[in-house]
Structure 1
Amino acid sequence: MNKTDRMLAIVLELQRNKVLRAEDLAAKFETSVRTIYRDIQALSEAGVSVIGAPGQGYSLMDGYFLPPVSFTVEEAVTLLIGTDFIEQWFDTDYSHKSRTSRRKIEVILPEPIRSEASRIRKSFRLFTLAEDIVRIQEKAYLEAIRRAILEERKVSFHYSKRIAEVDGNRQSVRTVAPYGLVFHQGAWVLIGHCELRQDIRHFRLSRMTELIDLEDQFKQPADFHLDVYQPSDDRNVTVCILVQSDIADKVRESNNFYLETIEDHTEGLLMTFRVRQPDELLHFVLGWGAGVVVLEPESFRQRVRTELEKTLKRY
């Protein structure tokens, strides 16, 4: 990074973090503290209102704003594609804001940059299926939950699980203190404290119905941080399958969530999965017909066999 780019980056960091020590800036930009001192001096001489407080660090004077920033073609394309993504995958409110943001970005770009960015952007496409009733509802729930998170209010909803509980039920009513939303493998997931389970749980918005925004308030734990949160991994069952060569590529591209390893085998493809219970893979295995054989565990082989026998009786 050259001096000019580093000085601009320093101003942006000060706008973002309010107060930073020279040591912090030196570590951030992988340079010496002495170099940061010289950069700060140069910024001051250029009219940037940098304030230095002994023992605390540097900050910008209240009310100081960085003049309009110029973008390279690649940076402009990145921002514009980002607005496309938000418009397609976020709720109605953010979709609208993404469109207005895109117009503002396009207006401030110089004509040569705007034309080149438009040309490059046409070579990319974020393709999604037409919005059905389920996806429209999911977007509505996304907006309601997002507001509940910001206002620290609980939500209640009916939830349908893929695998039945021990009592045989797949449906339940949950009251949850929402901590955050995660976009995972093309689906929105709510992370929050479930009153029914008295622990943090994950809920796919697509499996929710009858969402209610409650008046009950909650306080998010001080030690919970969504950006570093790692759920406990309780997938302790290993399932191994052999895939025939003629469908190996299709199965490989299916990108199953539970997939652990893939190995080429003389008879096809050897795939290993890690699950909580084998039934989580039942429909996946059955969907490939005779092209997939379960190698282990034996109990799951028997489960697949039983399901196929039941299917055969229907025909």
Structure 2
Amino acid sequence: MRRADRLFEIIQHLRRRQTTTARELGEALEVSERTIYRDIRDLIASGVPIEGEAGVGYVLRPGYDLPPLMFTEQEIEALVLGARIVETWGDAELAAAAGDAAAKIEAVVPERLRGYMANTALLAPSSYRMEPIGFDLAELRHAVRRQRKVRFAYTDVLGQGSARVVRPLSLAFFGPVWVLAAWCELRQDFRTFRLDRIHEFEALTDGFKAEPGKTLHDFLRRPQTWTRSSLTAVEDGSGNH
């Protein structure tokens, strides 16, 4: 958790309870009491009206609230539509996070904008076509974020199979398919893989660091990256051999 997020959560905990100890906050946020003491001290220094002391507990004086987020109608439409798309096309974990994010935004925007946010006419219906994925997409997302290698079996459009260990770099949704861009250790080059053709997926504990020539930036600098032409290569197997 980023420190800014932790400070926000500390305030939220204090708003919900009359008195909270550093130990309780530390257990809830999975950090040490020493970290909580430091965070409380910094929040007080920044003007947050927290009262109390170490070993006794802390309380937030009534009437304090976080400054409201100010969005225009168009910004709200962008946020709501983005959240609804993620809820429809993402994995269950990401969909839940999108719903939570929208709820947090709705809770802090001014009253005059809440109804507009709830009733915006931009929708992402669930009756869409997406090729089914035979593993948990969240595991792959975590591997991308944490820079962990993954192993899987892959079957191309010609029905030819291969075993791969790759460095996952990026995920993109080209309806109706999700596509993975990766550095393939078998081919020693960048490859793109349709997720609906991946099976026996396994996230490994082996990490990797950015190396010149093997990064997402290097992949994106290549011509025809994330275009219909590159997807054609995925479709006919020429991009995966």
TM-score category (smaller protein): 0.5 to 0.7
- The answer to whether the aligner puts 1:104 opposite 2:95 as a matched pair is no
- The answer to whether the aligner puts 1:207 opposite 2:197 as a matched pair is yes
Could you tell me which residue of structure 1 aligns to residue 88 of structure 2?
Answer: 88
| Structure 1: tracts of 5 or more residues without a match | 1-14, 16-61, 235-255, 259-274, 281-315
Larger Rg: 1
- Tell me how far apart the structure 1 counterparts of residues 116 and 207 of structure 2 sit (CA, whole Å): 50
- Tell me how far apart the structure 1 counterparts of residues 154 and 117 of structure 2 sit (CA, whole Å): 44
* Residue pair 1:160, 1:170 contacting (<8 A) in 2 also: yes
- Tell me how far apart the structure 2 counterparts of residues 77 and 135 of structure 1 sit (CA, whole Å): 29
* Residue pair 2:69, 2:108 contacting (<8 A) in 1 also: no
Could you tell me which residue of structure 2 aligns to residue 157 of structure 1?
Answer: 152
AA of the residue aligned to 2:124:
L
Matches within 5 A, 1:290-309: none
Shift of 1:222: 4.6
Could you tell me which residue of structure 2 aligns to residue 129 of structure 1?
Answer: 127
* Residue pair 1:152, 1:217 contacting (<8 A) in 2 also: yes
* Residue pair 1:74, 1:117 contacting (<8 A) in 2 also: no
* Residue pair 2:170, 2:216 contacting (<8 A) in 1 also: no
- The answer to whether the aligner puts 1:116 opposite 2:113 as a matched pair is no
AA of the residue aligned to 1:117:
M
Q: Equivalent residue of 1:137, what SS?
A: coil
Of 215, 229, 247 in structure 1, the residue corresponding to residue 220 of structure 2 is 229
Shift of 1:84: 0.7
AA of the residue aligned to 2:195:
L
Change in Cα spacing, 1:194 to 1:71, as seen in structure 2 (3 Å) is same
Q: CA RMSD in A?
A: 3.5
- Tell me how far apart the structure 1 counterparts of residues 193 and 160 of structure 2 sit (CA, whole Å): 13
Shift of 1:108: 1.8
Could you tell me which residue of structure 1 aligns to residue 171 of structure 2?
Answer: 181
Change in Cα spacing, 1:143 to 1:102, as seen in structure 2 (3 Å) is same
- Tell me how far apart the structure 1 counterparts of residues 228 and 161 of structure 2 sit (CA, whole Å): 22
AA of the residue aligned to 1:88:
T
Residue by residue over 1:139-162, the C-alpha shift from the partner in whole angstroms, topping out at 9 and shown as x without a partner, is x1x211111123322111111111
Of 138, 141, 153 in structure 2, the residue corresponding to residue 143 of structure 1 is 138
- The answer to whether the aligner puts 1:190 opposite 2:180 as a matched pair is yes
**TM-score, reference length from structure 1:** 0.47
Residue by residue over 1:164-212, the C-alpha shift from the partner in whole angstroms, topping out at 9 and shown as x without a partner, is 3xxxx62111111112222334432111111221111111111111101
